[in-house]
Amino acid sequence: MLTPRLSGAGKLASVRIRMIALVALIAVSAAAALAGPAGAAPRPARIVGGATAPAGTAPWTAALVAHNLSAQSGAYCGATVASPTAVITAAHCVTEGPGQFDVVTGRSILSAGDGQRLPVTSVDLDPAYRRDRTGHDAAVVHLGSPTTAPPIGIATAGTAGLAAPGARLLLTGWGIVTNRDKAASDSLREATVAVQGNRRCRMSYRQAFNGTQMICSAGGLPDACHGDSGGPLVSLDGATPTLVGIVSFGGRRCGDSTFPGVYTRVSYESAFLEQAVSKTPAPPPATVAPGSQIGTSYGPIG
């Protein structure tokens, strides 16, 4: 069964309904749903079998947080800073659109007071994405205020080899640490994930896996898990870190060697991502209360 890597924190009822419907409709496909604002058999993802990331590791890693909750209790998906005003995530994390979630950047410990919590002005989904099937699981979220967190490079057709079988890639996220956990990790976690050929994932997920559009991990531990959806899979082989994968879905149990983790292949999505990231939509007019932090961060840090 497929499971999106979404966290249980702050899930919307409509998302839960869609996830249930998707699992029923596709027995071996990654379900794509927003878990709070939110994987394969698809599952939401925390990094299982990884370790706490040292301070300053992967500063491009961002968190999507349910609008009315603290960062620690409301984090449900990951994201990657692609420009001062845009982050990249999985489409299934943001189907509800802006207004349902904020983006936290520049922070390793969710409960800490550093970094920024930023409003969202708009969301661009891959036009071919469909909630009831796998594939095209990519989106760009536009921020109402610029982040000071450093952006990362985006894999293109010319750098697709960075995610070739055998490549070892950096995975980061705040997802659950064991299959028994019910809440996201407060501390950012990291793991090195190996890429394997597409045959294994085709055997596990059948028609739900498309090797042109997706990357297949080696299976077993370490693995992404619930809450890691949308987060970065990064190549450090090169002059600059490069985003090559987006956490998408996996088996019902994280770390199951029978159902390897599946990631959206960024080089396949590069045309859409680059075009969407380059957009700078004008933020909507807003009434700002005295003392508001809009402009540097959004709302109370937490």
Flag whether 276 is in a domain.
yes
Question: In which residue ranges of the chain is pLDDT below 70?
Answer: 1-3, 5-50, 178, 180-184, 280-302
92 included as an active-site residue: yes
Flag whether 74 is in a domain.
yes
Find out whether 187 and 54 touch, Cβ atoms under 8 Å.
Answer: no
What is the reported pLDDT for 7? 58
At 123, is the secondary structure helix, strand, or coil? strand
Flag whether 55 is in a domain.
yes
Flag whether 169 is in a domain.
yes
Find out whether 32 and 42 touch, Cβ atoms under 8 Å.
Answer: yes
Identified catalytic residue from 124, 137, 223, 256 = 137
pLDDT in tens, 179-196: 766 666 888 999 999 999
Identified catalytic residue from 67, 92, 136, 226 = 92
What is the reported pLDDT for 32? 32
The residue range of the domain holding 187 is 1-283
Flag whether 187 is in a domain.
yes
CATH of the domain at 190: 2.40.10.10
Flag whether 302 is in a domain.
no
229 included as an active-site residue: yes
| CA–CA gap between residue 244 and residue 232 (Å, rounded) | 8
Flag whether 292 is in a domain.
no
DSSP-assigned states of every residue in 2-48? -EE---STT--HHHHHHHHHHHHH-TTS-----SS-----B---PPB
**Largest alpha-carbon pair distance within the chain?**
58
What is the reported pLDDT for 182? 63
Flag whether 149 is in a domain.
yes
248 included as an active-site residue: no
Identified catalytic residue from 7, 229, 235, 297 = 229
Structural domains of the chain, count: 1
